[in-house]
Amino acid sequence: MKYTSNYKFLLEDLSKLKGVGKKTSEILKNKKINNLFDLLWRLPKSYIDRTENNNINELQIGRIHTITVLVKKYSFPRIRNLPNRVTCEDNTGTIDCVFFNSYEGYIKKILPLHEEVTISGKISIFNKKYQITNPRYVSKDKALIEKIHSKYNLTAGISQKIYNKIIDQILKNLPILKEWLHSEVLKKFDNESWNDSIKKLHNPKNIGNFKSNFYRRLAFDEILASHLISSEIRKKIKKVKKKEKKFSNESSRKVISRLSYKLTNEQNKSLTEINKDLTSKNKMFRLLQGDVGSGKTIVALISALNVIESGYQVAFMAPTEILCRQHYKLAKKIYSNKIKIEILTGKSDYYEKKRINKEINSKKINILFGTHSLFQKKIKFSNLGFIIIDEQHKFGVRQRKSLSDKGGINCDVLLMSATPIPRTLIMSVYGDMDISIIKEKPNHRKEILTYSKLEDKIDDVIRFIKKELNNKNQVFWVCPLIEESKKIDHQSAIKKFDYLSKIFPGKVALLHSKIDKLEKENILNNFLNNKFQILVSTTVIEVGIDFPNATTIVIENANKFGLSQLHQLRGRVGRGLKQSSCILIFKKNLSKNARKRIKILKNSNDGFLISKEDMKLRGFGDLLGFKQSGLKSFKLADPVHNEDLFILAENEIKRIEIEEKNLIKYKPLIKLYDQADVINDLI
């Protein structure tokens, strides 16, 4: 291999490396390490210092030492279970190298008789004699051993030594890439080049050195690449010319005037932004983000009505059937009966599905509600103009892009999410979209009161619930998740169901992941219709469903949940006019961290603030939904520690969007970081 200035070298297959055979490369591939670049992103976790060379009389048992010795004598007993033994010495003493399951030939090769070798390994003692068992670090070349050796998180089957060798090999041949950072930006990192930075990153002396320039430069590259990709997708989608939608707002005005409440300012602002997109000649790709209960559904339904008025069809997708049905019913209630509204669910029978397909195709249906099923190929809209997707936080960038492609040129897209994102992360998570945010809650809303209770005070909780039931209110009871074991997850819920059923006979129902889909819907519907008053469940409570009559949510073992998740669960109540409460139950001995979290929840109902705090406490990867979303998490950049880099990258993107028409300079950066080729046809 030779020096190159071409980034493509880094995307080469692992088998290009010396010493990497089929077996090793397979092991690595199983760990999603497919090419040289992937390997570079496995950072050393710690290191072993083998630099200090000692005399034998200085050795300490149990420690790793490096020694340079003369090979004196072999002993090959040739009896099973007895190890081969090589006696070595220096001026100060003797030591045995002991080899189990080894070949004489191999030993003679690495430890040639009467020659001087350098060995490093853990010192033990046997029969009052020093020994090193199965030493891996043996060489006639001192310099190869007397180093600080990086320790990587290893994949079974590859030795630390081989891994280090592979990394060394890549670092030695690292291409010198042409600088892509703007000089002003580069200055902030003391002009550290990419090449030098990578080398420093793998230098064991620099482990944990995340404040240094080389580290920050690489972290910045990572953020910039992700932002660039998003920005390119956004530009690309926006470039699509569509036929603008024309509508008078008359029917939507009527619907708004008939609502039992007034839209909040931010609902109105979002509506204006959406309408502006609909009537423009550029395709809309917008996220409507608002905390739980902020009233996103009505905004979506009103904009849908505008699209229908302009002569197009609308597809409204939600993650679960019960949520679909709830939206469908609301549409039925508020739209005039001239609008043809349908719902397609798993329950629809063959003939129903056939009829709906036909009517969608002949444009008889104006708006169709449904789950993912709406995207089946056989469903052919005659002129789809708008796709609305509720609670979409589980989609990643790629899925979103393919979604926007799917609807065709004239189709606008609105996604809705209740997962608040800290300000610094918006560009990373949703940089490919325009965003409307609803921050305020409808103003009649009472804040949800949040209490914490220790487990042994459960009688207080029961008393509280009795009072609620007397006032004709309903209660959610969420049971602890038992980690690691999905199998027994529901057992605690069953126990609690039995317990509560004895106290409140005939008033309790149970929901957990083992209950099948149809039965689950039944239960939720019955709860909605107040056929029972207490719903005991694991965390399967659906996102988004509106249960205005539920006023209390009890969450057991609350420290198992992240802040954002607790906030989302809490958002199941507090949707009606009545005062609602959330009771967090804890086992004893709350940690300092747990106390901090309760305090944050008690003091705030603001999902954005809570998500920021959550991120500070638990890190980005654990924020609600992101783990499942497949959303790329950053390897080096950390949204909490590197907040400034995220802001810097956002500003840099703005500058690039204005000043740089040609992105060719960023090609290596994008190609290296966007291996999924999300934007392959752009540069």
Minimum Å gap between C-beta 322 and Mg ion is 12
Distance, CA of 223 to CA of 201 (rounded, Å): 17
Contacts of 645 (CB under 8 A, 6+ apart): 216, 219, 220, 223, 637
Minimum Å gap between C-beta 156 and Mg ion is 45
625 is a contact residue toward ligand ADP (CB under 6 A): no
Q: Which stretch binds ligand ADP (CB under 6 A): 48-56, 106-114, 219-227, 541-549?
A: 541-549
Plot region of 38 (φ>0 → left; ψ -120 to 50 → alpha; else → beta): alpha
Which two three-digit tokens encode residue 415? 């996604």
Minimum Å gap between C-beta 365 and ligand ADP is 23
290 is a contact residue toward Mg ion (CB under 5 A): no
Q: How many residues bind Mg ion (CB under 5 A)?
A: 1
Distance, CA of 47 to CA of 149 (rounded, Å): 5
The residue number with the shortest CB distance to Mg ion is 544
264 is a contact residue toward ligand ADP (CB under 6 A): yes
Minimum Å gap between C-beta 294 and Mg ion is 9
607 is a contact residue toward Mg ion (CB under 5 A): no
392 is a contact residue toward ligand ADP (CB under 6 A): no
Using the minimum distance from each CB to Mg ion, give the nearer residue, 131 or 264: 264
Q: How many CA atoms lie within 13 A of 644 on its CB side?
A: 7
Using the minimum distance from each CB to ligand ADP, give the nearer residue, 107 or 438: 438
292 is a contact residue toward ligand ADP (CB under 6 A): yes
Rounded to 10 degrees, the C-alpha dihedral 508/509/511/514 comes to: 120
Which two three-digit tokens encode residue 495? 């126990």
Using the minimum distance from each CB to Mg ion, give the nearer residue, 547 or 646: 547
Other Cβ atoms closer than 10 A to 464: 17
Judged by CB under 6 A, the residue of 298, 509, 510, 678 near ligand ADP is 298
Other Cβ atoms closer than 10 A to 193: 17
Distance, CA of 353 to CA of 373 (rounded, Å): 11
HEC string of 220-232? HHHHHHHHHHHHH
Distance, CA of 434 to CA of 423 (rounded, Å): 14
> How far from the centroid of its chain's Cα atoms is residue 222's Cα?
16
Only one residue has tokens 């086992």, namely: 587
Minimum Å gap between C-beta 545 and ligand ADP is 8
574 is a contact residue toward Mg ion (CB under 5 A): no
Minimum Å gap between C-beta 388 and ligand ADP is 12
420 is a contact residue toward Mg ion (CB under 5 A): no
442 is a contact residue toward ligand ADP (CB under 6 A): yes
Pairing type for strands 449-454 and 581-586 reads parallel
Both ends of the chain: CA-CA distance in Å? 27
294 is a contact residue toward ligand ADP (CB under 6 A): yes
Only one residue has tokens 């068992």, namely: 133
Minimum Å gap between C-beta 291 and ligand ADP is 7
Q: Which does 396 bind (CB under 5 to 8 A by kind): ligand ADP, Mg ion, none?
A: none
Minimum Å gap between C-beta 552 and ligand ADP is 17
Judged by CB under 6 A, the residue of 290, 407, 480, 574 near ligand ADP is 290
| Window 548 to 567, contacts with ligand ADP (CB under 6 A) | 548
Judged by CB under 6 A, the residue of 267, 289, 533, 552 near ligand ADP is 267
Contacts of 398 (CB under 8 A, 6+ apart): 676, 678
Q: Which does 294 bind (CB under 5 to 8 A by kind): ligand ADP, Mg ion, none?
A: ligand ADP
| Window 529 to 568, contacts with Mg ion (CB under 5 A) | 544
The residue number with the shortest CB distance to ligand ADP is 295
Minimum Å gap between C-beta 290 and Mg ion is 8
| Window 565 to 604, contacts with ligand ADP (CB under 6 A) | 575
Q: Which does 480 bind (CB under 5 to 8 A by kind): ligand ADP, Mg ion, none?
A: none
Q: Which residues are paired to 414 by β-bridges?
A: 286, 388
Long-range pairs for 490-495: beta carbons < 8 A, 24 or more residues apart: 490/514, 490/538, 492/556, 493/536, 493/537, 493/538
Using the minimum distance from each CB to ligand ADP, give the nearer residue, 88 or 318: 318
The string of DSSP letters for 476-519 reads EEEPPP-TT-GGGTTHHHHHHHHHHHHHSTTSEEEE-TTS-HHH
Minimum Å gap between C-beta 315 and ligand ADP is 18
| Cα-trace Rg, the chain | 32
Judged by CB under 6 A, the residue of 83, 121, 293, 319 near ligand ADP is 293
Q: How many residues bind ligand ADP (CB under 6 A)?
A: 20
293 is a contact residue toward Mg ion (CB under 5 A): no
Using the minimum distance from each CB to ligand ADP, give the nearer residue, 299 or 344: 299
Which two three-digit tokens encode residue 513? 């992941």
Q: In the complex, which residues of this chain contact ligand ADP (CB under 6 A)?
A: 261-264, 267, 290, 292-298, 418, 442, 444, 544, 546, 548, 575
Q: In the complex, which residues of this chain contact Mg ion (CB under 5 A)?
A: 544
